[in-house]
Structure 1
Amino acid sequence: MAIGKRDRTRSKLLIAAQELALEGGASALTVYNLTERAEMAPGTFYNYYRTREDVLDDICALLVMATRQVVSQAIEGLTDLQAIVATSVRQTLRMAAPGQDIGHLLFDASLPTQNFILGMRQFFRRDLEEGMGNGAFQVVNEAAVIAMVSGSSYGVMQDIYQERLPMEMIEDIAEMTLRVLGVEAVVAAAQARLPIDFCAPPKLPLIATELLPPLGAAAR
């Protein structure tokens, strides 16, 4: 399917936004800076966004979708929900390896990351509910577990990126996650250490035409 002009223009704006955020943090994302970097007239910005905060939301959406895309590659072929969750945790945490652009954008650029955490929560909820339905997981308070796992995963990503936790601890964290979901200790330890071909974190800038839903026609 051909990519429309509006989607290409939005993608240019979001490429500029990521570059500016990596260079100067979220505060660098002024309308003037964005449109100058994207080589377009300042008024063009308002055909796509009302405020710079809307741009920040789309950057977080790109990060969520890029993470999910990489996780989907890592879990391809797996059918056991325990293995899927453990592998998802391991791949997600690897996205924040020290020195990676994604970690820099998430933890150094002062982005409002609430939407990133909410996106992680949405995907975890789906796997948890499926696992509860087939007996793979035993959870008493679903909402509490979803909040705890998604929030702590973000915190662990930050600690890994900032080298407060070593990468070698990722498997232990995946094991602990399964234990919170009611998986027996021996099984959790094994599932958290399955041999997996993990994917490298994607390079920035992320491309909106590849990751975000297409825009509709411009309002008349």
Structure 2
Amino acid sequence: MTTAGSPLVGSSGRGRVGRRRARNRERLVSAAAELMAEAGVEGVTVSAITERADLGAGTFYNYFQSRDGIVDAVVAGAVETLGQRLDALTQGMADAAEIYSSSLRHLMRTAVTDPLWGRLVVRLGIAHDQLIATLGPRARRDLLIGVDSGRFQVPDVDIATAITFGALLSAIHAHLGSDQASDPSGVFAESLLRMVGIPAEEATEITQRPLPPLPSLEEARVILGGDAEG
């Protein structure tokens, strides 16, 4: 007969508690992401987050020490994980133009297919340095690959990185504010390829190629190995 103090029961109880905690944390992060997409980082309060998540006001502090902590969690969930998936997708690509184009097309397409994500990225880009710190180095790396290989003609990589990031946010904002149903990701990537010196006809051809699907986060972490852990 199994007693209440047996390891089996203790393990089961801990498992239930762990699952409940994971669900509550996910509800808080999802609520924060929705509110940040609507009102920006500065417009979000802890009480608004717990109300949207339908959890007690004190529950928040079981998971996060401050509002900044949950903002970081939102960025990690919405942006860093996508960055890891893009890293895995492009890791085996040899052509810098294809690497740059594929990343741009997927970022824009994600905003089109998930408008909440798009609004969140635009809001974070204006108000939160972590978004720039997450995506900026990746854009710079891709541009450097193009410059070092002679594929891109870029006089200043840092300026080109800033232009890439600013263009992404502006294009997402413009699309979400319009009534256009078409996906602008190809045209967006083509425009930036031409900016870095790819001839017009070639830029069109590259951005009209079938876009490889993004690997799942789990697949990405296997492809990237220890670099994606955390």
Query: TM-score, normalising length from structure 1?
Result: 0.69
Unaligned regions of 5+ residues in structure 2, if any? 1-16, 218-227
Q: Relative to structure 2, which stretch is displaced further, 111-120 or 31-40?
A: 31-40
Q: 1:116 aligns with which of 94, 117, 131?
A: 131
Cα offset for 1:144? 0.9
Q: 2:102 aligns with which of 60, 70, 87?
A: 87
Change beyond 3 A, Cα 1:151–1:29 = same
Q: 2:160 aligns with which of 145, 167, 175?
A: 145
The answer for the alignment partner of 1:45 in structure 2 is: 61
Higher relative contact order (CA 8 A, sep 6+): 1
Task: State the distance in 1 between where 2:168 and 2:140 align.
Answer: 14
Unaligned regions of 5+ residues in structure 1, if any? 203-211, 215-220
Task: State the distance in 2 between where 1:167 and 1:32 align.
Answer: 34
Structure with the greater alpha carbon radius of gyration: 2
Cα offset for 1:135? 1.4
Task: State the distance in 1 between where 2:134 and 2:144 align.
Answer: 16
Aligned length: 199
Task: State the distance in 2 between where 1:130 and 1:14 align.
Answer: 37
RMSD: 3.9
Sequence identity percentage? 19
The alignment partner of 2:178 has SS state of coil
The answer for the alignment partner of 1:19 in structure 2 is: 31
Task: State the distance in 2 between where 1:11 and 1:141 align.
Answer: 46
Query: TM-score, normalising length from structure 2?
Result: 0.67
Structure 1 residues 65-214: aligned runs within 5 Å = 65-72=80-87, 74-75=89-90, 77-97=92-112, 100-107=115-122, 112-163=127-178, 167-199=182-214, 214=230
CA contact (8 A) 2:93 2:99 kept: yes
